[in-house]
Structure 1
Amino acid sequence: MSAMYNARAGMQQASDNVAQASAAVAQPDSQPEQSTTDSLIALQTNTTYHQASANVLRVTDDTVGYLIDTLA
């Protein structure tokens, strides 16, 4: 079950980072040390991280379901 926990934690972290990057793009003056380009790259990168974590969660769920069906 640690794979499920790690996948959910990865999704949460990526979501938090997407929200932060989105805010930085929407209000570029709020974070002068980060350029809009860096924020857009962070937005895309964390979207990909979120999708990857969601895939891990899906595969883990499928695997657990398969094991339960096999052992039952």
Structure 2
Amino acid sequence: MKLGLDDYVIKSPRHYARLPVAARTCLDRSKVRARAIRSETRLAALLENIHLGVLRMSLEGELEEANRAF
């Protein structure tokens, strides 16, 4: 689970009742991840297309990322 597994169902008839819940949880998390990726993509496109320099720096003052206008 620590490496990214969403859920699991033990292969035993008494655990099969959990299958719909596990499937729904997985689908819901997948939708959330897809929305996050879409938002991130839209933000990246916006930042690349504006004519204003935008940058992100670490707390130590190191440049982490910047758009082309910067």
Structure 2 portions without partners, runs of 5+: 52-68
Q: 1:67 to 1:34 in 2, by over 3 A?
A: farther
Q: 1:69 to 1:34 in 2, by over 3 A?
A: farther
Instruction: Determine which structure has the larger strand proportion and give its number.
Output: 2
Matched, 1:36 2:30: no
Residue 36 (structure 1) shift: 1.8
Larger Rg computed on CA atoms = 2
Q: Which runs of 4+ in 1 moved over 3 A?
A: none
Matched, 1:62 2:42: yes
Matched, 1:51 2:34: no
Higher RCO (C-alpha under 8 Å, 6+ residues apart): 1
Structure 2 Cα separation of the partners of residues 59 and 49 of structure 1: 15
- Give the secondary-structure state (helix, strand or coil) at the position aligned to 1:35: helix
Q: 1:66 to 1:35 in 2, by over 3 A?
A: same
Structure 1 portions without partners, runs of 5+: 1-9, 25-30
**Share of identical aligned residues, percent?**
14
Structure 2 Cα separation of the partners of residues 34 and 64 of structure 1: 47
- Give the secondary-structure state (helix, strand or coil) at the position aligned to 2:12: coil
